[in-house]
Amino acid sequence: MTRNVLQSRVIVQKYGGSSVADPDRIRNVARRIAKKVQEGYKVVTVVSAMGKTTDNLISLAKNVSSKPDERELDMLLTTGEQVSCALVAMALKDMGINAISLNAFQVKILTTKSYNNARIMDISVRKLREYLDSYDVLVVTGFQGITEDEHLTTLGRGGSDTSAVALAAKLKCDCEIYSDVAGVYTCDPKLYPETKKLKYVTYDDMLEMAATGAKVLHSRSVEIAKKYNVRVYCGSSFSDEEGTWVVDRIPEWLEEPLVTGVSLDKNQVKVSIMNLPNDAKVVTDIFKRVAEKGINVDMISLVKNGTSTHVSFTVVPERLDKIEELLNETLSDYGAKYHFYGKFSKITVVGTGMRSHYGVASKLLEVLSEHGVEPELITTSEIKISVLVPENVAEELVKSICKAFDL
């Protein structure tokens, strides 16, 4: 007999593509969800597309069209999550669990109209409550939404994390994110096997780590978690090993570290614009046009040299076509030139402890100097320092930085 949602605790769980990559793993996920139901929870489960489905669909689209229409690409990509959603619901029903699969249209996940990179505007709590009154498990498609005029959109890479945390924010409950990684580490274990797993990490630290290359959580999901104070648990779907809680603040009994972690973001391209006029309005105009094109830029550096200004920033290679088109349109107005420099990586050292301690920048630059590396760009904030370095030395630098900061 289905329990009324008001009499049950609600929790949101999210399972990544590797967790639902084949029938055996789908059944494993179903068993984990069923266990939560048996503990007295109503479960809203968000699932990603199976394995490499999204990559395969993008490849298929590019075989059909040299430049796939963004709206049609979203229509194609949303099918991946619907497949895994339906299969997980089938596995749950075989176990006697009262479950239903639902897509973004049925749950009313309203987004902006930015195809391929939409942002969630609202989710219908009323619809969620109605379904939770009738079912113990809602298996919801991650990564997708609908516009006000009912066109399908996708939320960009890592969008299923965003879907899950947004649902938890609306339902005012905890969110559990399961993948093939057993929590949040001070560094990617594949890069530095001696890395330590964190029991707790703050929203601020996790936000910086996610935004600069850490793969456990998508940065937009952490933004939502921080805004609505959603506690997020990161664990492995393949074991019961204790994971990591992402929270507002570290428990008082636990000492706050100076450096929480080191992240590596590969595949960075440096864009340099030379000989711009010494006029703030010109730089403002360029970045306004960049924003209007929906292009994210990072590590911005501005240097004035006599009567001219030089601007540098980084972008990911996938955005080069758009940025080149924009610069060709824009720079002709100012008689400036641009150049792309490739094969860079961004290394970021993160830690809220930097707010009250000093010496992190000098130690980081000392490590780079020992390797004979001069950073191309450096950006800092209260709790992070990022350096742009040649890609061929980045992994070795990360190992040395981890050792230097005892991570």
Which residue, 187, 234, 190, is CA-closest to 209?
187
* 17 assigned ligand-binding residue: yes
* 215 assigned ligand-binding residue: yes
In this structure, which amino acid lies at residue 7?
Q
* 384 assigned ligand-binding residue: no
- Matching residue, tokens 């980081």: 364
User: 138 near 200, Cβ under 8 Å?
Assistant: no
In this structure, which amino acid lies at residue 137?
V
* 185 assigned ligand-binding residue: yes
User: 278 near 308, Cβ under 8 Å?
Assistant: yes
* 42 assigned ligand-binding residue: no
* 181 assigned ligand-binding residue: no
* 54 assigned ligand-binding residue: yes
Beta strands in 248-400 (DSSP E): 261-277, 298-305, 308-315, 337-350, 377-381, 384-390
What is the distance between the alpha carbons of residues 163 and 397, in angstroms, rounded to a whole number? 34
What is the distance between the alpha carbons of residues 379 and 301, in angstroms, rounded to a whole number? 8
User: 330 near 322, Cβ under 8 Å?
Assistant: no
For 198, which DSSP code?
Answer: E
Q: Which residue numbers belong to the known binding site?
A: 14-17, 54, 81, 185, 215-216
Q: Which residue numbers belong to the known binding site for substrate?
A: 54, 81
Q: Which residue numbers belong to the known binding site for ATP?
A: 14-17, 185, 215-216
